Amino acid sequence: MTHLDKEDFRRGVYDVVRSIPYGRATSYGAIAKAIGYPNMSRLVGRVMGECNSTISGIPAHRVVNSQGVLSAKEAFGNSNEMQKLLEEEGVNIINDRIINWKKVFWDPTEELTIE
């Protein structure tokens, strides 16, 4: 993709996020890279901020920053909701950071399979 079509971008972000496996997480930057816009991680963050995982079916709680930090937890209303959702999937978190980030990290550029 060379020209940024906002709807295509949003659709691409949501497609990747829907593919994140249960108990895993990825970063804004990894999603941006996977959809062909490696320098657009902030825009991925904005798109994620527009959705609510409980309403849209998008597991937005599985998207964190590149260090495994729950940087957008305020987008979930209750500041502990994002952590609660991840912990229900078996992800361990201390001080808003995913423990064993390298193990939990799902890289869509390597692991995404498109059907």
Mean model confidence pLDDT for the chain: 89
Section 46-70 average pLDDT? 85
Q: Residue 63 domain-assigned? A: yes
pLDDT range class, residue 111, cuts 50, 70, 90 = confident
Residue 114 has pLDDT above 80, yes or no: no
Domains in the chain, number = 1
Domain that holds residue 46: 3-104
Of residues 73 and 84, which shows the higher confidence score? 84
Q: Residue 74 domain-assigned? A: yes
Q: Residue 17 domain-assigned? A: yes
Q: Could you read off the pLDDT of 1-53 as tens digits, one per residue?
A: 456 788 899 999 999 999 999 999 999 999 999 999 999 999 999 999 887 65
Q: Residue 111 domain-assigned? A: no
Placement of tokens 């829907």 in the chain: 18
Quote the CA–CA distance of 86 and 78 in Å, as a whole number: 14
Q: Residue 28 domain-assigned? A: yes
